[in-house]
Structure 1
């Protein structure tokens, strides 16, 4: 959804040069029709395995920093 709304913002809403709400509605509907006719599924490059590895690295990093901060003497 974020990709869709990002494209919508760039292609339809900006610049904000609408004269009335009917023009906004018409432009949004025209964009939706065009987008639905040409849209392709998004091909994710990050696999679930990649995500699992990244989350494990983040957990280790967080644990390492918690150990370091608890080992530091209070000032």
Structure 2
């Protein structure tokens, strides 16, 4: 019985470690995507915006339910 409990504890610790590593990887990827988004928008608009400003813009759009942002030419 002690062996099975030891295995269960080891498996539980391994699962926790893997879960933490996955969360770290997801957080790193999210940070990279935010930076890529800021770079793409800077290129598209020709303006210098920080990734923090782009994050605020995205949060603002999400808050008001904007899902498809299009800039149509005037005229």
Regarding TM over 0.5, the answer is no
Structure number with higher relative contact order (C-alpha < 8 Å, ≥ 6 residues apart)? 1
TM-score relative to the length of structure 2: 0.37
Q: Which protein is richer in helix relative to its size?
A: 2
TM-score relative to the length of structure 1: 0.37
- Structure having the higher Rg: 1
